[in-house]
């Protein structure tokens, strides 16, 4: 059956082969996922204005602050599902997937309510220029109306990836991403909508992704099939989700809040800085897609192999994946440096905006190896059920220390270079901490699920 071939059992065979087969669909899927917001930015920047582009790109960190909280618990679910799957515990797997799916639906409802209520207050905290406040709030509120679709889609994707199926989420995402681009053009170019048209296109596409994923999970003949009659919150699974997921949720939320403070510093340099840096971050997301995809694959690899008690295979896979990611990051960084001005020109035609984006590339590209190492080692720790380790790295380095650097030095030097340099400094710090914990070897002593 086709359903039997979809999942990749990562506890046997070639390590490189297993990681490659699993990573490639994730990478392609992440590229199309990135197209959601990138299509918004391209179409808004060209069909509306650079000011409208600034309003869309500036709310990205806010969106991920709220989404990150709920996704933290989804990460906890993924560790549990992969562990049960790797161990061959079908009863535990059944309870885990149904608890996970129902929890994602409830989280989506909460995300919508919180997003709609807090949008104006959050925008007011970000030093957003007065001329784009209205558009930023409008975009944010429409986007959060799709909270259920977003949470359920991400939850179903995480479920499939935890059991080794990275292909089906890719198929559904390609379809919905193409639809998102078409709807962007229709709503803005044909119907004359503002930034709300871009947000509306995104949430419609997300809901369709969620529906397609649910149809797959309810119809599959695999052991991870969903059934309505089994849809309940199991107390033991729920306890483990909070046990593994709470540190990740706190990490994601505080780190995203720190990114919001970073965005506030960028905003203080004007709308051209907002447009240029925002466009650069969209492109950087694409450039770094193979690395983040490999980090996700490593998390699943570690979870499944620890569940199967394949400790030496787990260690070899973690080392191989991290070193490959670091080498690839430097190659991608050099190419990015050479062609970033051309890429930025697709988003904005303002020379000042392009100059802001290019300056950031000049200062950070050589440190991409550290960023790759942090992503991969964090994926290893998540898969091993060590969320507190990654929380310390991201909250301490990427949030608290990064914001501290900007708070102290931006007012003194009044240069956006301070904002840019804070990134490689904190990437290096987090890599050093995670590498130290990795070489201690305690992450291989995985906690039992009970």
**Structure confidence at residue 39 as a pLDDT band (50, 70, 90):** low
Distance of CA 109 to the CA centre of its chain: 20
Token pair, residue 216, equals: 């797959």
Surface-to-core class of residue 196, CB atoms within 10 Å of its CB (0-12 exposed, 13-18 middle, 19+ buried): middle
Question: In this predicted structure, what is the pLDDT of residue 264?
Answer: 80
What is the separation, in whole angstroms, between the first and last Cα of the chain?
Answer: 33
Residue 35 has pLDDT above 70, yes or no: no
Question: In this predicted structure, what is the pLDDT of residue 363?
Answer: 92
| Average pLDDT of the residues in 217-238 | 92
Question: In this predicted structure, what is the pLDDT of residue 294?
Answer: 92
CA distance 393 to 383: 16
Question: In this predicted structure, what is the pLDDT of residue 211?
Answer: 93
Output the average pLDDT for the chain.
85
pLDDT tens, residue by residue, 142-179:
988 999 998 898 889 889 988 888 888 888 888 888 88
**Structure confidence at residue 448 as a pLDDT band (50, 70, 90):** low
pLDDT tens, residue by residue, 392-443:
898 899 888 998 999 899 999 889 999 999 999 999 999 999 999 999 988 8
CA distance 345 to 272: 13
| Average pLDDT of the residues in 234-240 | 91
Question: In this predicted structure, what is the pLDDT of residue 165?
Answer: 86
CA 302-304-305 angle, 5° bins: 65
**Structure confidence at residue 3 as a pLDDT band (50, 70, 90):** very low
Residue 75 has pLDDT above 50, yes or no: yes
DSSP class per residue in 33-90: HHHHHHHHHHHIIIII-HHHHHHHHTTHHHHHHHHHHHHHHHHHHHHHHHHHHHHT-H
Residue 450 has pLDDT above 70, yes or no: no
**Structure confidence at residue 373 as a pLDDT band (50, 70, 90):** very high
Looking from the CA of 136 toward its CB, the CA atoms found within 13 Å total: 30
Question: In this predicted structure, what is the pLDDT of residue 1?
Answer: 35
What is the residue extent of each domain of the chain?
15-443
CA distance 51 to 31: 26
Question: In this predicted structure, what is the pLDDT of residue 59?
Answer: 74
């Amino acid at each position: 059956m086709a359903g039997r071939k979809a999942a990749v059992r990562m506890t046997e065979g070639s390590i490189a082969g297993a990681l490659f087969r699993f990573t490639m669909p994730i990478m392609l899927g992440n590229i199309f996922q990135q197209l959601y917001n990138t299509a918004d930015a391209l179409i808004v920047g060209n069909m509306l204005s650079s000011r409208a582009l600034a309003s869309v790109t500036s709310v990205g960190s806010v969106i991920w602050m709220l989404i990150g909280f709920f996704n933290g618990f989804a990460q906890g679910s993924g560790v549990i599902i992969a562990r049960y799957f790797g161990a061959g515990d079908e009863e535990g797997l059944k309870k885990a997937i149904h608890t996970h799916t129902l929890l994602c639906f409830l989280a989506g409802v909460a995300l919508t309510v919180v997003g709609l209520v807090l949008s104006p207050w959050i925008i007011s905290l970000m030093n957003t220029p007065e001329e784009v406040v209205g558009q930023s709030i409008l975009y944010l509120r429409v986007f959060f109306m799709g909270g259920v679709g977003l949470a359920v889609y991400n939850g179903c994707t995480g479920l499939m990836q935890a059991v080794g199926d990275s292909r089906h989420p890719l198929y559904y995402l390609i379809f919905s991403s193409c639809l998102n681009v078409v709807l962007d053009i229709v709503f803005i170019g044909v119907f004359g909508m503002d930034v709300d048209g871009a947000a509306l296109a995104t949430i419609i596409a997300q809901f369709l992704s969620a529906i397609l994923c649910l149809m797959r999970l309810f119809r599959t003949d695999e052991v991870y099939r969903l059934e309505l009659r089994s849809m309940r919150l199991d107390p033991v699974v729920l306890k483990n989700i909070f046990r593994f997921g709470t540190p990740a949720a706190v990490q994601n939320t505080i780190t995203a809040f720190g990114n919001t403070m970073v965005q506030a510093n960028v905003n203080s340099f004007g709308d051209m800085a907002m447009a240029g840096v925002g466009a650069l971050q969209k492109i950087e997301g694409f450039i770094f897609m193979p690395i983040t995809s490999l980090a996700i694959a490593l998390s699943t690899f570690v979870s499944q192999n620890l569940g199967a008690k394949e400790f030496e295979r787990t260690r070899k896979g973690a080392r191989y994946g991290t070193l490959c990611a670091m080498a690839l990051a430097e190659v991608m960084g050099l190419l990015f440096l050479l062609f970033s001005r051309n890429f930025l020109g697709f988003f904005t035609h303002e020379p000042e905006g392009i100059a802001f984006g290019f300056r950031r590339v000049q200062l950070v590209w050589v440190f991409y190896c550290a960023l790759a190492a942090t992503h991969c080692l964090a994926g290893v720790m998540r898969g091993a059920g060590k969320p507190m380790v990654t929380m310390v790295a991201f909250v301490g380095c990427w949030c608290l220390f990064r914001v501290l650097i900007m708070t102290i030095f931006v007012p003194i030097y009044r240069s956006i270079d301070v904002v840019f340099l804070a990134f490689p400094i904190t990437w290096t710090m987090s890599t050093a901490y995670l590498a130290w914990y990795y070489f201690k070897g305690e992450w291989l002593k995985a906690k039992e699920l009970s």
